Amino acid sequence: MTPDAKEKLQLSLAASAFTLVVTIAGAYTMQSLSQRNSEHLFRLQRERDLRERSYAKLAGLKVPWSQAIQTRSEAVMLAEFYYVRFQRLSHDKDDLAEAKRQNERALTLIAEISKLQREAFEALAEARISYSPTPQLTAALDALYRFKSVEVYDVDRSTIKEEADLLRWKDRVGKRIVELAKSEYQDKIDALLPLLEAQLRE
């Protein structure tokens, strides 16, 4: 083989090797970019799914959660009302039976409320990790997370001289239960949902 032919062959082999290296590098780069793009799209879709799920859960929990809290608190209040009426005023066994019935009703609602609260906290956690934090959104999430429990305090028995005293206590506590169920649950969810919806529409 002549030196010229040898040199041409070497140049041709070098060009082929270079083309092969560039092709492999290009294919690897394209595959890497494609994989990164797929991972990015997967993360975006997962985030979107979490956003939609947390929004739907919170919207769906608004009424049942507050109603369950209100119903249980009213049952606790009525158990106290009938028991105190039996003990201090009527001594009627029907009042004692109703006090026991209302107490049982309150106890049976604990499991339902626990389930609803677990769902609410899961939805809040999903919202916290999937939505872009803003001061307003963070404040709304924190406000709902730190809701005030609806407590029913026992009647001060020394103040009960007649049924009208007991009815005043019942009316006062009943109004407070309705106010807290609305302000601590429904109103806080109502304040949060538009903030979540604004990001869902982006």
Taking only the tens place, the pLDDT of each residue in 71-112 is 999 999 999 999 999 999 999 999 999 999 999 999 999 999
21 or 53: which carries more pLDDT confidence? 53
What value does the mean pLDDT take over residues 122-138? 94
- Reported pTM: 0.77
Who contacts 139 (Cβ-Cβ below 8 Å, separation ≥6)? none
What's the CA gap between 184 and 65, in Å, rounded?
A: 11
CA atoms within a 13 Å half-sphere pointing along the CA-CB vector of 151: 5
What's the CA gap between 134 and 129, in Å, rounded?
A: 12
> Please, which pLDDT band fits residue 48 given cuts at 50, 70 and 90?
confident
What value does the mean pLDDT take over residues 150-155? 89
User: Of the given ranges (30-34, 45-49, 63-67, 93-97), which has the lowest mean pLDDT?
Assistant: 30-34
pLDDT above 60 (res 182): yes
pLDDT score of 32: 56
